[in-house]
Chain A
Amino acid sequence: MAAISDIGNEFIRQEIEEYIERPEERARTIATFAKARPEMQIIAAALIDGDNETVDRLTREALAAGIEALEVMDYGLIAGMGIVGIKFRQNFIFVPEVLACARAMKAGMAHIEPILSASGIDPLGKVIMGTVKGDLHDIGKNLCIMMLRGAGFEVIDLGVDTAPDRFIEAVEEHRAPLMGMSALLTTTMPNMGKTIEAFIDADLRDEIKIMVGGAPVTQEFADDMGADGYGKDALACVELAKSLLGVRAR
């Protein structure tokens, strides 16, 4: 059985000792990292730290050195994210830290995407995501984006305070078949309807599926606005995206 002393990276050892309490999780994590080469442990450590620049650089270097992409995923990116999940569950870190780690994972995956493409593995679909005009809340949207990317979608994030024209521009530029809008305030929810109207006016409504979400949004409101779907949380967002695009499991 692997021991924590088999893990060369001190940061990883400290993370396991300090944050992983459940015996089965601890054993599984130790076993994973004991098999990981040093370069992978450093990638995992950088991801846990939310250091997307280092994950970016080290992933690029690892792949260039001939390390298999799946190894980078298993022992660098996913192994690191596993520890992030445990720390979050136990409230050692919170949503801002989780999103920073998700950005680091995205930075690493960006170097694996060309390999996926060369392997004939395409994204499940392309999705434009944004918080509507006048609204500066983004955490719900960002969690949805994290889930969508994790499920294999390509996501273009327009950020917050996104005007209808910007949504239209992005859909046309990226030829995206699906768009998601988020609003966290009752005062900005109507801008979802205005955005949908803008697509109608631009003669683009039939070319795009539109899903909506956010704390004050309801299925009834989504139906009244003319959206194609409503997701109550990030998990529902992924299932809705798959449903709207007619995506089946690989």
Chain B
Amino acid sequence: MQKIDKDEYQKRLDRITEIFAGMVNHADELSRHRCPYKNRFDQCTAQFGCRNKLKPRAPGELPLCASDDKLDYRNAWETERS
């Protein structure tokens, strides 16, 4: 089996951490106005209920998100499964 040099591996981990840290910072900024469960198709990926959930565009698809991305969405979250 091939072997990996520890220092070389650590360089890769450092690069991964750099990429992920940028993502986490952006996610934090974005979440102030856009629900983090809303995907690029404006669909809801959350398992819980939310007042902003709308019917999916087609059967079998994810529900749509009605949020206008301007308000703090967290008040709309419920505790029950959707």
Q: In the bound complex, how far is the Cα of B21 from the Cα of A63, in angstroms?
A: 28
Is A235 touching B24 in the complex (CB atoms < 8 A)? yes
Q: For residue B27, which residues in chain A have a CB less than 8 angstroms away from its CB?
A: 88, 95, 98, 143
Q: For residue A98, which residues in chain B have a CB less than 8 angstroms away from its CB?
A: 23, 27
- B58 interfacial contact with A, CB 8 Å: no
Q: For residue A74, which residues in chain B have a CB less than 8 angstroms away from its CB?
A: 12
> Nearest residue in B to A146 (C-beta to C-beta)?
B20
- A70 interfacial contact with B, CB 8 Å: yes
A93 to chain B, nearest CB (A): 5
> Nearest residue in B to A144 (C-beta to C-beta)?
B24
Q: For residue A184, which residues in chain B have a CB less than 8 angstroms away from its CB?
A: 74, 77
Is B12 touching A78 in the complex (CB atoms < 8 A)? yes
Q: For residue B37, which residues in chain A have a CB less than 8 angstroms away from its CB?
A: 95-96, 139
> Nearest residue in A to B47 (C-beta to C-beta)?
A136
Is B39 touching A96 in the complex (CB atoms < 8 A)? yes
Is B16 touching A69 in the complex (CB atoms < 8 A)? no
Q: For residue B8, which residues in chain A have a CB less than 8 angstroms away from its CB?
A: 70
Is B15 touching A97 in the complex (CB atoms < 8 A)? no
Is B24 touching A147 in the complex (CB atoms < 8 A)? yes
Neighbour of A118 across the interface among B1, B7, B19, B22, CB < 8 A: B1
* B1-25 vs A, Cβ < 8 Å mask (1 yes, 0 no): 1111111111011011101111111
- A5 interfacial contact with B, CB 8 Å: no
- B interface residues with partner A (beta carbon < 8 Å): 1-10, 12-13, 15-17, 19-28, 30-31, 34, 36-40, 45-48, 74, 77, 79, 81
